[in-house]
């Protein structure tokens, strides 16, 4: 299917993992893709995997810096004349699993600056263009960690809960201009960000336990999240807005008891 013919899509966090898979999926379905990430080498690697490199643009930037985001969105619009899709995928885990009593304020501030304020910045500037067009779709990457505890550290989980709520509130703000806002909530997916989880499990000879608490009894692939993002960004989801869709193998449908997760 070519659901994104003649459409322009911005994908953040596109240097690896879910962001890279999303860029590839949207490009394969006809989109001109504008890619953003801090990792310029990773962005170049993503570009090399795309089917038509004449229909791609990329920039290295820090999404927590509003002025960089504003310039990025303005430059995409100047080049393409429209913005149809925004995928707010960039995020960091921070590597902090400390208890709330041992929390590091600087770690919290950095995680929130990237995971929530990065999405706020891109939404702010891209949505202005979408409202003028009276069309557009924004898909935020949240997490099952934002739905229930046990899937991430305190700061990361709080940031993803904020992304879910931002999805709902911005959907209410933008609906009258035919701009839809939704989120995906990935479960355990093997990406660069989750590599420490996989490495610990493999070092402990517990690789078979990865994803075992999901009803599908496995962990997911970035391409499976990208497929859900492409659906929510497409006209197939034209009457869907303000929703957070778990793509987690059934993880949030079941009761995960303390100590049961790998």
CATH number at residue 127: 3.40.50.720
Query: Is residue 91's pLDDT more than 70?
Result: yes
Number of domains in the chain: 1
- Determine the pLDDT at residue 148: 86
Binning pLDDT at 50, 70 and 90, where does residue 217 land? confident
- Tell me which residue range forms the domain holding 93: 8-189+222-250
- Determine the pLDDT at residue 261: 47
Given strand 179-186, what is the order of strands in its sheet?
56-60, 32-37, 8-12, 85-88, 136-141, 179-186, 244-247
Q: What is the average pLDDT score of the chain? A: 91
Marked catalytic residue, from 125, 156, 219, 239: 156
Asked if the structure places residue 258 within a domain, the reply is no
Residues 13-23 pLDDT 10s? 999 999 999 99
Query: Is residue 198's pLDDT more than 70?
Result: no
pTM, to two decimals: 0.92
Token pair 């080049």 in the structure block, residue: 79
Q: Where are the beta strands (DSSP E) in 64-115?
A: 85-88
- Determine the pLDDT at residue 56: 97
Task: Please confirm, yes or no, whether 156 is among the known catalytic residues.
Answer: yes
Contact 118, 87 (CB under 8 A): no
């Amino acid at each position: 299917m070519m659901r994104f013919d003649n459409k322009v899509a911005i994908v953040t966090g596109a240097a690896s993992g879910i962001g890279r898979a999303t860029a590839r999926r949207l490009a394969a379905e006809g989109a001109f893709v504008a890619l953003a990430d801090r990792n310029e080498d990773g962005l170049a690697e993503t570009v090399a995997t795309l089917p038509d490199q004449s229909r791609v643009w990329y920039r290295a930037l820090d999404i927590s810096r509003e002025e960089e985001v504003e310039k990025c969105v303005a430059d995409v619009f100047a080049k393409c004349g429209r913005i149809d899709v925004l995928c707010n995928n960039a995020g960091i885990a921070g590597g902090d699993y400390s208890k709330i009593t041992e929390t590091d304020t600087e770690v919290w501030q950095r995680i929130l600056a990237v995971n929530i304020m990065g999405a706020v910045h891109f939404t702010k500037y891209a949505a202005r263009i979408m409202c003028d067009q009276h069309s557009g779709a924004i898909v935020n990457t949240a997490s099952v960690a934002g739905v229930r505890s046990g899937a991430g550290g305190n700061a990361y989980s709080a940031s993803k809960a904020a992304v879910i709520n931002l999805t709902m509130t911005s959907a209410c703000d933008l609906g009258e201009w035919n701009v839809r806002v939704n989120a995906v909530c990935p479960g355990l997916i093997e990406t660069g960000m989750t590599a420490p989880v996989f490495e610990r499990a493999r070092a402990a000879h517990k690789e078979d336990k990865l994803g075992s608490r999901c009803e599908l009894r496995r962990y997911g692939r970035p391409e499976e999240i990208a497929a859900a993002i492409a659906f929510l960004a497409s006209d197939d989801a034209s009457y869907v807005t303000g929703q957070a869709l778990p793509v987690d193998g059934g993880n949030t449908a079941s009761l995960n008891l303390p100590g049961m997760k790998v």
